[in-house]
Amino acid sequence: MTVLFAQILQQETDLNMIIQTLFSFAFIVYLFYAQRLQSLQMLNQIEATLRRLKKIRDEARGISINAINEVGKPGVDISAKVDRIMEFISIPLTEMDPYGIVDKLDHYLKVNHDIFEAEVKAIAPNAAEVERQNLENLVGLTFELNYIYKAMRHNYLMGKKTMNIYIILQVHMILPLIMQLVESLTVGIQATREGIPIGDSVGPIVAGRLMKDYPKRDISKEMVSAEVPFDGRTLIVMKAKGPGGTVGTPDEAIMTALNEKEGKVKIIIMIDAAGKMEGEPVGAISEGVGAAIGGTGKEKFKIEEITVKYKVPIHAIAIKQGMEHTMAPLVEELAEGAEKAGESVKRIIMDYSQPGDIVIVAGIGNTIGVGQ
Amino acid sequence: MMKTHSQGGSAPPVTGITASWVNLAIIVVIGILSLVSLYFGFKSFIEDQITAYTYLLIGALGFAAIGYMLFRGGRPSAQSKMDIPRAEIITTLECPKCNLRRVRDFKQGDYVFKNDEPCTRCDGVMIISRVNRKKEPDKEKKQGVIE
């Protein structure tokens, strides 16, 4: 290589001198400004994404306002109120003393939920309960999109102000993940607007199919249950009360059912949507043990606590799906997955319980577009 | 859609020399240098092949760098096609009595396990058994997954 360059440099024509000077100049410029050029290029990409994000956020806001006007018939301009909800803040709990943190979190989440519910009720006074729950989901999605946009904008402007490559690089690195999250939220807009079952609804679909022909009762807040006879066993099937968009309070429902039966429950089966790894098919079923429930972890904690108290094993059925499916209208593979999961529930009941036993079957997830 | 209402935030401000302008300038400079290099490569091909290959290599690398820059820094207009997507939704109805199955377009108010409409074959009531997105066969891609 050195020999080659030496041969080129030996030729002393005018044009050769010009091109060599240009190359040397470009090299020197790049030597001093490479990092800055790279920063500018990354900022350019972040800015393009941010513009797209703003457009999505504004469109979601427009859809929310439209839906509230159509369903809730407030009779006044509610755009300022929607903007206020979009700026709603939830100050995180202090974890300096972790003792009692789960109860604190439980209380905090309930207050959060109640206030959000009251705010939506105030701007959509004429909406029926199901419609109001769907509107809560829709406004919630808009809120999240707004928050992501604001956080991204903050980091972008910080990077631009300081021109610090490490700040810019951090935002740039997570850009594809952020956009994946944003896309998974945007596909939920149509579902929440029209009350269509989503990927997360697979758990309630499985439970709903088991309980649909039997009398139901409210077992805890926004949760229904039914006693279903099954091959000599008694199934206590529970799910969030549909078809409005809610996840209910499955921890409280399981605790109530266990306490009512004084712990005389053979097994608990929990069915929930679970994240799939790349390469795994959508709608694949995985069986295992443990509390199949996501969220903040407080529900999981409470379910684990009560099952340890009564020594009741929990069987988990996970219906696999990607992040892009969780909030999106249900795809055919997941509808089929829910049917397969129903078969798994029946098989687990037959394998792990005897006639005369009581089995709790809990369908976990958002029950939007799923009745019972 | 009510898009005329006031917005909660603002678009990122663009002041001074924009990053896209700098990118364009870099691309133009590299492009010119690469062209000149290719010219020299072809010109000196008969006289001195080693020099010619070096020039050609430099020229090709320059164009490769331009391609890389264009590929990485996608323009905003290319990204924003349809921002909030709409899927085609179908409702499947089943008669529990005669097992008749019927598929129709989703109507607002449809939900799974809803007693919907009288069965056209018997005197039963059809129940909505599924509400899901219509499969789009064109969009299915074989990913060549190692199983």
Tens of pLDDT, residues B31-55: 888 888 888 888 888 788 888 888 8
Ranking A80-89, A166-175, A341-350, B79-88 by mean pLDDT, the lowest is B79-88
Which one, of B20, B102, B34, lies nearest residue B66 by Cα?
Answer: B34
B7 pLDDT higher than 60:
no
Question: Within an 8 Å CB–CB cutoff, is residue A79 touching chain B?
Answer: yes
Which carries the bigger pLDDT value, residue A18 or residue B74? A18
Interfacial A residues in 232-271 facing B (CB < 8 Å)? 242-243
Residues 6+ positions from A304 with CB-CB distance below 8 Å? A291
C-alpha angle with apex A286: A285 to A288, nearest 5 degrees? 145
Mean pLDDT value across chain A: 90
Tens of pLDDT, residues A26-37: 788 888 888 888
A322 pLDDT higher than 80:
yes
CA B75, CA A153: separation in Å to the nearest integer?
18
The helix-helix angle for A14-67 and A79-86 (nearest 10°) equals 120
3-state secondary structure of B56: helix
Domain boundaries along the sequence of chain B:
19-75, 89-134
CA A139, CA A88: separation in Å to the nearest integer?
11
**CB-hemisphere CA count at 13 Å for A243?**
23
- Under CATH, what is the fold of the domain A199-363? Rossmann fold (3.40.50)
Tens of pLDDT, residues B70-98: 766 554 444 445 578 888 999 999 998 89
Number of Cβ within 10 Å of residue A287's Cβ equals 15
- Which pLDDT does position A239 carry in this prediction? 96
CB contact under 8 A, B89 and A242: no
Residue B5 banded pLDDT, cuts 50, 70, 90: very low
Residue A337 banded pLDDT, cuts 50, 70, 90: very high
CB A135 within 8 A of CB A72: yes
pLDDT (average), residues A314-329 = 93
CB contact under 8 A, B37 and A44: no
Of B19, B69, B89, the CB nearest to A43: B19
- Which pLDDT does position A3 carry in this prediction? 55
Matching residue, tokens 């429950």: A265
Mean pLDDT value across chain B: 75
E strand or H helix at A49: helix A14-67
CB A336 within 8 A of CB A173: no
Interface pTM (ipTM) of the complex? 0.84
Residue numbers in B near A155 (CB within 8 A): none
C-alpha angle with apex A212: A113 to B87, nearest 5 degrees? 65
Give bridge partners of residue A217 from the DSSP assignment: A225
CA A87, CA A149: separation in Å to the nearest integer?
12
Cβ burial of A339 (10 Å; 0-12, 13-18, 19+) is middle
Q: Which residue out of B34, B101, B111 would a mutagenesis test of the A interface target, given it has the greatest number of A Cβ atoms within 10 Å?
A: B111
Share above pLDDT 70 across residues of chain A, in percent, rounded to a whole number: 96
- Which pLDDT does position B138 carry in this prediction? 59
- Which pLDDT does position B143 carry in this prediction? 54
Which segment, A39-48, A93-102, A308-317, is predicted with the most confidence on average?
A308-317
- Which pLDDT does position B144 carry in this prediction? 55
